[in-house]
Amino acid sequence: MTCPLLSILLCLLVGGSLASAQTFPFEMFDTDMPLPHVYKERRSRVLASMSNTSIAIVFSADVRNRQNDVDYEYRQSSDMLYLTGCQTPGTTLLLAPAGIKIGNRTFSEVLFIPQRNVDREVWQGVSMGPQEAMQYLGVDTAIVATDLKSILDSLLPRVDTLHYSTLPTKALPVPLAGKNLYADAELKKWAKERKASIVFKTPMGILRAMREVKDTSELRLLRKAIDISIEGHRATMRGARPGMKEYELEALMEYGFKRQGAEDVGYPSIVGSNYNACILHYTANRRATTMNDLVLADCGAEYHGYTADITRTFPLNGKFTEEQRLVYELVLQAQDSGIAASVAGAPFRAPHAAATSVIADGLLKLGIIEDLADVKRYFMHGTSHYLGLDVHDPGTGGPLQVNSVITVEPGIYIPAGSPCDKSWWNIGVRIEDDILITEQGPVNLSAALARSVADVEALCGSAP
């Protein structure tokens, strides 16, 4: 590949222009994004929750360096996506119920966004600037990012509370010094120098509550991400063969995601075979599989920022062994109980309590544990989390609410060396689906993907 940053610098040093007189047009390629009024309504709800003597700041994600002059592909912070839809790094949203005076006008919301740089766009693609932000995102006003400091300097003396969303980078380790630099402390220090009595509030409770309950636009995009993920899982199970490397299975999965329009994975794909299935967040995906392996695939596509989170465990040769089948059916029974407990008004941990009870009783009957309290040895994680723009989406943790989406994902993991009969060793099973809470009861949004023993076995290796 070319070396873009070095090339830009060299070109500027010799006085050249990379883009000559041409300006590239800005274009929104996807036509199914939420409409501007959706973001406007969300910002209005945040503003309505604030006092007139407070302001709120929402930061964009940092650009992360991969190595030398190559950055990771950019992913915007979820709070910025939720409130604006803006994908541009270096952007900050400022909300002030009492108003922000710019020139002769006063605004309650201002988006500070970098000015377009035509020369840089030759290398890195067309970006959204202030004019495009107002045109496509519907913010009251957008101005260049460099004006943020002066605006804040004028606002802080007149406010008593500063709300801010999660900082993009919380801490920066300092090599050799043996300490960290904390962004939160630096931000507070800077603000205190301008208003000693100012109060800080983070994370923004209103955003947690809002993002817990999905609106119509969010549910549409979540369903799309889940449908894409289902097809990726199907392609993987159909194409899986003994002897394939775990990364080959991962490639089948992620190809299925990309070809249907997913921009990325919602989290690193977990594809663990045999003993690797007993490692909860295994992501190396390098092992060569063998004939009787179980494969645990925990993978989800991200579509327009929203991610699915689906896990299936399947026999590589298309047939569960007796021990594998017994453990799988126990996890499936536990998941059914957890899903049934996912009703509006129930405690957030109700699905976990239901699933844990089933697994504990089942492991005792199978002789894998001798006491119900030992269930934590083989089922050591929670059963549910919120799902949305983040795979572990924020929420209140209160009673389950209508239009909230949670996962239900019980599992049993029996690594070699466990205090049970060796016939159970290296069996790791997790089954995970994405559940919409409704007034009529739980709806399994990923139910179209095979779950029963018979359906999973029929799907495995079915590709020609």
Query: CA 174, 178, 183, 187: dihedral to nearest 10 degrees?
Result: -110
Confidence of residue 20 (pLDDT cuts 50, 70, 90): very low
- At 14 the pLDDT is 42
- At 462 the pLDDT is 84
Average pLDDT over residues 196-220: 95
* Helical residues (DSSP H) of 213-305, grouped into ranges: 216-239, 246-258
Residue-wise pLDDT for 280-326, tens only, equals 999 999 999 999 999 999 999 999 999 999 999 999 999 999 999 99
CA nearest to 212, candidates 376, 10, 399: 399
Measuring CA to CA, how many Å separate 137 from each of 111, 133, 134? 10, 5, 6
In eight-state DSSP terms, residue 63 is P
Domains of the chain: 18-208 (3.40.350.10), 213-459 (3.90.230.10)
Give the residue, 463 or 269, on which the prediction is more confident. Answer: 269
Say how far apart CA 102 and CA 125 lie, in whole Å: 30
Compute the Cα dihedral for 411, 415, 419, 420 and give only its sign: positive
Catalytic residues, by residue number, are 69, 281, 298, 309, 381, 385, 392, 409, 413, 430, 432
For helices 130-137 and 36-48, give the axis angle rounded to 10 degrees: 90
CA 169 from chain centre, in angstroms, equals 16
Say how far apart CA 367 and CA 323 lie, in whole Å: 12
- At 167 the pLDDT is 84
- At 22 the pLDDT is 64
User: Given a cut of 80, is residue 23 above it in pLDDT?
Assistant: no
Residue-wise pLDDT for 348-402, tens only, equals 999 999 999 999 999 999 999 999 999 999 999 999 999 999 999 999 999 999 9
pLDDT cut 70: percent of the chain above it = 95
Q: What is the pTM of this model?
A: 0.93
Would strands 310-315 and 294-299 be described as parallel, antiparallel, or unpaired?
A: antiparallel
- Cα angle: 415, vertex 419, 424; to 5 degrees: 50
Tell me how crowded residue 455 is: count the other CB atoms within 10 A of its CB. 11
- Cα angle: 277, vertex 278, 284; to 5 degrees: 55
User: Given a cut of 50, is residue 429 above it in pLDDT?
Assistant: yes
CB 226 within 8 A of CB 310: yes
Going across the sheet that includes 264-265, the strands are 264-265, 301-303, 306-307
- At 199 the pLDDT is 94
| Cβ neighbourhood burial of 35 (10 Å; 0-12, 13-18, 19+) | exposed
Say how far apart CA 190 and CA 200 lie, in whole Å: 12
User: Given a cut of 60, is residue 18 above it in pLDDT?
Assistant: no
Mean pLDDT of the chain: 93
CB 283 within 8 A of CB 59: no
Confidence of residue 275 (pLDDT cuts 50, 70, 90): very high
CB 387 within 8 A of CB 309: yes
User: Given a cut of 70, is residue 89 above it in pLDDT?
Assistant: yes
Take residue 291 and report the two structure tokens written for it. 């004939």
